[in-house]
Amino acid sequence: EVQLVESGGGLVQPGGSLRLSCAASGFTFSNYAMHWVRQAPGKGLEYISAITSNGGSTSYADSVKGRFTISRDNSQNTLSLQLGSLRTEDTAVYYCARGGNYDYWGQGTLVTVSS
């Protein structure tokens, strides 16, 4: 059974940093590109970042470019997202999703940016 489990969310002050993780199981992690998608409270879904299956290429939404860094460890079946220079508008549930067309999603982890 495919499982994606996010962790690392929490309350952080504006300007702060946080590292999110997504633990994958039930499939060959190294065969799939992975994405991060977020959802602000009461709002829709927003693509944030993606990484190719071997980690060789990454992409970011303009809203987070230069502040967030995506990475992966295929030996540990783990996807990560380093969040930096956080703003109040980054408050959201962050989901990891498998592949370029999001066939599986995690349960999400809530990041709250507030003073």
Partner 1 sequence: DVVMTQSPLSLPVTLGQPASISCRSSQSLVYSDGNTYLNWFQQRPGQSPRRLIYKVSNRDSGVPDRFSGSGSGTDFTLKISRVEAEDVGVYYCMQGTYWPRTFGQGTKLEIK
Residues 56 and 64: their CA atoms lie apart, in Å, by: 19
User: Whose Cβ is closer to partner 1: residue 39's or residue 77's?
Assistant: 39
Q: Are 85 and 65 in contact (CB under 8 A)?
A: no
In this structure, what token pair is assigned to residue 67? 């502040």
Select from 1, 41, 56, 101 the one that contacts partner 1 (CB under 8 A): 101
Residues 46-75 close enough to bind partner 1 by CB under 8 A = 46-47, 50, 59, 61
Classified as helix, coil or strand, 109 is strand
Q: Which residues contact 92 (CB under 8 A, 6 or more apart)?
A: 38, 39, 40, 41, 43, 46, 110, 111
Stretch near partner 1 under the rule CB under 8 A, chosen from 13-21, 23-31, 39-47, 80-88: 39-47
Could you tell me the smallest distance in angstroms from the CB atom of residue 73 to partner 1?
23
With binding defined as CB under 8 A, does residue 106 bind partner 1? yes
- Residues lying near partner 1 in the complex (CB under 8 A) are found at 35, 44-47, 50, 59, 61, 95, 100-108
